[in-house]
Amino acid sequence: MERSMAVERAVVMACEDNVVTAICDLPAGEMVRISEEERVELRDPIAFGHKFARTAIPKGTYIVKYGARIGRATSNIRPGEHVHIHNVQDIVDEVRRDAR
Amino acid sequence: MKTSVLGYWRKDGTIGVRNHVAVIATVLCSRHVAEEIARQTGAVAITHERGCLELGDTKAHTELVLRNAIGHPNIGAALVVGLGCEQVSARRLAETEAGKPVRWIDIRATGGTTKAIAVGIKLARALSKEIEGRARERAGLDELVVATQCGSSDTAAGIASNPAVGIVADWVVHAGGTVILGETPSLYGAAGVLAERAATPDTAARILEITDNIERYYARMGRSLREANPTPGNIERGLTTLVEKSLGGIRKAGTTPIKGVVRPAERVCGKGLWIMDTSLGLGTHVSTDMLCGGAQVMLYTTGGGNPMGSPLGPVIKIAATPDTVAAMQDSLDFDASPVIQGTETLAECGERLVSCLLDVVNGKPTKAEQLGSYAFAIGTIAS
């Protein structure tokens, strides 16, 4: 997860993540560089600290950050779309049940 | 990198990184007298709203907090101030062997507020004379007990400040020291991940149990922890779920195995990474419990910016959000925003934070210490 010294505008916490976190305010339409070969075009404006989809995330599948599931998509989320409480539900009960 | 620190050896074998006289109120009713004595003598005041009309685990916890505050390695001497009729007796606290000078007064027996302040000032000055001029002595890094906490969490804390603290936590553990992770409600969504890191099956079970206790407490009121967590502030700053918040929070604890779980304010006696169940405690309750657990210093990450220190020891305030760093310069000790701005790697930031920690341990005052911005509070226990 170590980032390079190059100035990035968004950060992926683990390689298996399907969301990216903005580390500055980003306007809709911006083409954000994720890595040398990966780019995502933003469909929504993304504020500092907020997340957008790195890939298409189908309804009912997990949102993955830090290499771990953090929630479940409540609608089909397209790449570059804002990922937050309007399209994600918490999975805290599921995670705790699986821990036993 | 340094291999030792300078501190004050205590009779119980711990090392203090500060050498304060503390004036400790046993109960809310003796708060004014204790604060006045401290104000006029340069002692630190330890006051709170507890000490009477308490039941069960909460009552026992209050007494444990006050006993461990007196016994804290950063406290060189203590004056305990009671009213005279409260549950937590000043005399009982002061007569518990602490290996350091401890005196006590009751306001009623001393003849009222004015007389108690006058007598207390004399006692506090005498205590100060007894411990002043003590020199710091060399101690190994394995004597360090470092508490970790976060407040006003945001995404930048999860990306930069907390992982930087995690690097320091691993460094302290590898040097033979102790690190404490707490804030039970915030661990809730990561209990499974933490249980997998437990050194023993018993510890794994305890991690799940302490987080279950919180949920059970709210369930008895027909409520859920999830109603209040993540907070509106967390959500505004981009945290979507409790699981996400928890996963960001536990990055403070680094990557080493979890050795065990202790009760709120219980002294941590082992080395390595420990979890303290801070129960329902929030903010200052948690800082108080963790420092009472024997931590000489706390690493406190704050997204939005929190200015509060503790009379028990230095609290290093760390922020990574550029706006917070700009707005709260007089209250923050460490700027992790270069990681967010891409001008520093996490490893470099962690190394810089180790230096900052060692400077503070060796005597450099934190911003809260410079400002005298101290808070002390005792929480409620879910039982």
Phi, psi of B89 (to 5 degrees): -80, 130
What pLDDT does A3 receive? 43
* Homologous superfamily, domain B20-131: Response regulator (3.40.50.2300)
- What average pLDDT does this structure show over A6-15? 80
Cα three-residue angle B85-B91-B96, rounded to 5 degrees:
140
A7, A51, A71 member nearest B238 (Cβ): A51
| Chain B hits for A85, Cβ within 8 Å | 235, 240
Interval B343-357: pLDDT, tens = 999 999 999 999 999
Task: With CB atoms and an 8 Å threshold, state whether B156 touches A13.
Answer: no
For residue A95, the chain B residues in CB contact (below 8 A) are 189, 192, 243
* Among A2, A48, A85, beta carbon nearest to B240: A85
Percent of chain A exceeding pLDDT 90 equals 74
Q: Is residue A98 within a helix (H) or strand (E), and if so which, with residue range?
A: helix A92-98
**Among A49, A51, A90, beta carbon nearest to B243:** A90
Give residue A5's pLDDT band: very low, low, confident or very high (50, 70, 90). very low
How many CB pairs below 8 A link A and B?
109
Confirm or reject contact between B370 and chain A (CB < 8 A): no
Cα gap A81→A59, rounded to integer Å: 13
The share of chain B scoring above pLDDT 90, in percent, equals: 86
Helix axes B31-41, B113-131, angle to 10 degrees: 40
pLDDT per residue as tens digits for the range B140-179: 999 999 999 998 878 888 889 999 999 999 999 999 999 9
pLDDT for residue A4: 39
3-state secondary structure chain B: CCCEEEEEECCCCCEECCCEEEEEECCHHHHHHHHHHHHHHCCEEECCCCCCCCCHHHHHHHHHHHHHHHCCCCEEEEEEEECCCCCCCHHHHHHCCCCCCEEEEEHHHHCCHHHHHHHHHHHHHHHHHHHCCCCCEEEEHHHCEEEEEEECCCHHHHHHHHHHHHHHHHHHHHCCCEEEECCHHHHHHHHHHHHHCECCHHHHHHHHHHHHHHHHHHHHCCCCHHHCCCCHHHHHCCCCCHHHHHHHHHHHHCCCCEEEEECCCCCCCCCEEEEECCCCCCCHHHHHHHHHCCCCEEEEEECCCCCCEECCECEEEEECCHHHHHHCCCCCCEECHHHHHCCCCHHHHHHHHHHHHHHHHCCCCCHHHHHCCECCCCCCCCC
**B244: chain A residues, CB-CB within 8 Å:** 65-66, 70-71
B156 CA to chain A: closest CA distance, Å?
A: 6
From chain B, the residues in CB contact with A72 under 8 A are none
Does B208 lie at the interface with A, CB-CB under 8 angstroms?
yes
What residue segments make up the domains of chain B, in order of their start?
20-131, 140-371
Q: Searching chain A, which residue's CA lies closest to the CA of residue B347?
A: A2
Instruction: Select from B154, B208, B340 the Cβ nearest to the Cβ of A100.
Output: B208
pLDDT above 80 for B2: no
Average pLDDT over residues B111-121: 98
Rounding to the nearest 10 degrees, give the CA dihedral for residues B127, B132, B138, B141: 50
- Bond before B230 cis per omega within 30 degrees: yes
Q: Residue A74 in contact with residue A85, Cβ under 8 Å?
A: no
Beta-carbon separation of B238 and A21 below 8 A: yes
Look up tokens 């599921």; give the residue: A94
CA distance B236 to B247: 18
The pLDDT of B195-203, averaged and rounded, is: 95
Indicate yes or no: CB of B240 within 8 angstroms of CB of A51: yes
Tens of pLDDT, residue by residue over B38-67, are: 999 999 999 999 999 999 999 999 999 999
The mean of the pLDDT values for chain B is 95
What would the two tokens of residue B319 be? 């922020």
The count of C-alpha atoms lying within 13 angstroms of the C-alpha of B328, restricted to the half-sphere facing its C-beta, is 24
Check CB contact of B238 with chain A, cutoff 8 Å.
Answer: yes
pLDDT score at A19: 98
Residue % of chain A over a pLDDT of 70: 93
Average pLDDT, integer, range B28-34: 97
Sheet containing strand B297-302, edge to edge, reads B258-262, B272-276, B178-181, B145-151, B297-302, B315-319, B334-335
Span A62-80, pLDDT tens digits: 999 999 999 999 999 999 9
pLDDT digits (tens, 9 = 90+) for B78-100: 999 999 999 999 999 999 889 99
Alpha carbon of A28: minimum distance to chain B alpha carbons (Å): 17
Residues 6+ apart with CB under 8 A from B249: B150, B153, B157, B158, B162, B183, B186, B187, B190
> Would you kindly state where each structural domain of chain A is located, as residue ranges?
10-98
CB A54 within 8 A of CB A17: yes
Flag whether residue B304 sits within 8 Å of chain A, measured between CB atoms. no
Query: Does domain A10-98 match CATH 3.40.50.800?
Result: no
Closest CA relative to residue A99, chosen from B244, B170, B201: B201
Q: Which one has a higher pLDDT value, A55 or B225?
A: A55
Measure CB to CB from residue B243 to each of A5, A13, A92 and give the nearest one.
A92
Cβ contact, residue pair A49, B247, below 8 Å: no
The overall average pLDDT reported for chain A is: 90
Q: Is the pLDDT of residue B132 over 50?
A: yes
Q: Give the integer Cα–Cα distance in Å for B46 and B152.
A: 24
